[in-house]
Amino acid sequence: MKKFLIWTQYYVPEIGATAIRLHSVARELVRQGYHVCVVTGMPNYPKGQIYPAYRGKFYCCEQIDGVRVHRCWFHPAREVGLGRIFSYLYFIVSTFPVFILLARKVDLIIAEVPPPTVSFGARIALPFSGAKLIVNVSDLWPDWLLSSGLLKPGMVSRLLKLINSFTFSKADFVNGVTQGIINDIKQNYGIPEDKLLFLPNGVDTTLFSYQGPSIRKGGIDEGQKLFVYAGNHGIYNWPIVIAQAAARLQRRRNDIKFLLVGDGSQKREVVAFCLEHNLTNIEFKAPVPIEEVASLYGKAYAAISTYKKGFLSRPAKIFPAMACGLPLVYSGEGEGANIVKNAACGIVVPPEDPDELARAVERLADDYEMAKNLGNNGFNLVQREYSWSSIVKSWLADLEAKLISK
């Protein structure tokens, strides 16, 4: 029985996409007979504040769904800039001793990127371990940051590319969570096909089950059609476009409401916009456990997923909504947009375009049969291709085959 060690800055009970995805993968590996442990920090995402139950602890170990989780204190940060960079470096220093001790006892190490400091630290430690290293890339820095305009070419981008070149070339395998990331790693870093693995985002189909578009009361007036956004409110998610669309719709509709669930660096801007424009058709809810997200989807008419221009990835948040049979309004481009289009499970509009987003919401709200059909298409797709059990099983088969061929 192979033993896995996951080194990541994000893990449950944090509720971001990375934490939930890694927990889902770890839990599924345990279900399929593997031993898994995790080295991470004290939970703090997305507010950058350590959760109350973990405050005052420098180290703790707990069992979550059969996975042993080792946590070390580090200095979290919410805002971008030097504080965030310091936090990334502090995490490596804080968790490195525990990571080294455990790395000697496992067969495979999964180092989660970003931040790239984790994969760099794992590669430095590898000679002391003997384990195989898998660099798991969920966002490709600095490539995406440069293409989206969040980072300008310069010393920082060159340093990040050097770190990637070093860790990707020296790792045993590089894993991408989207096909776009896989393609960029091949083209930009010259990593051969026999070192590449593909472990896409999926969904827990036992937790998120079919609901379909709902028109009912649940914190929302009877007859309202509720559009739910559940996830990070960060700069690349661009949730401000939902508030801008809500402002346009408030002038002409009283049967459409929006619920934004979560937190992040752009949330204050979104809330301020709503207050400035006296919006009454949009509500906010603090981050909630994933189980409560499933309950909220049961009261929703549709789900919304938004992204900044240049974000071409395959977002995790679309799959839980699809598993609940909800139609999607997807404001973005790239791989996520292609999935929605090809599966005919929602309406795709250009990123950062509130007028088009408002029109798509209206169109969906006015055609229940279309909404139901789109939701059914998404549900069927998830059942066929995106349950964690089938994704992890396929990934393990590919990993075993490539291990044998090495």
Looking at every residue in the chain, the average pLDDT score rounds to 91
Q: What confidence score (pLDDT) does residue 153 get? A: 80
Nearest partner of 75 among 52, 57, 91, judged by Cα: 91
- Domain carrying residue 314: 225-385
Average pLDDT, integer, range 263-268: 90
Lowest mean pLDDT among 76-85, 123-132, 160-169, 321-330: 76-85
DSSP state of 111: E
pLDDT at 406 over 90: no
Here the CATH number for the domain that contains residue 248 is: 3.40.50.2000
Residue 214 resides in a domain: no
Q: How far apart are CA 329 and CA 313, in angstroms?
A: 16
DSSP state letters, 128-168: GT--EEEEEESS-TTHHHHHHTSS-SSHHHHHHHHHHHHHH
| Amino acid present at 157 | S
* Residues 396, 359 share a domain: no
Q: Are 238 and 336 in contact (CB under 8 A)?
A: no
The tokens 């939902």 sit on which residue? 242
Residue 155 resides in a domain: yes
* Residues 279, 171 share a domain: no
**pLDDT cut 70: percent of the chain above it:** 95
Angle (nearest 5°) at CA 312 between 201 and 322: 40
Pair of tokens at residue 330 = 């997807």
* Residues 53, 193 share a domain: yes
Q: How far apart are CA 370 and CA 345, in angstroms?
A: 10
State the pairing for strand pair 67-72/59-64: antiparallel
Name the pTM for this structure. 0.85
- Exposed (0-12), middle (13-18) or buried (19+): which is 383, by Cβ within 10 Å? middle
Q: Is 256 helix (H, G, I), strand (E, B) or coil?
A: strand
How confident is the model over 298-328, as pLDDT tens digits? 999 999 999 998 877 888 899 999 999 999 9
* Residues 318, 264 share a domain: yes
For the chain, helix (H) and strand (E) counts, in that order, are 14, 14
How crowded is residue 65: how many other Cβ atoms within 10 Å of its Cβ?
14
Q: What confidence score (pLDDT) does residue 350 get? A: 97
How confident is the model over 179-189, as pLDDT tens digits? 989 999 999 99
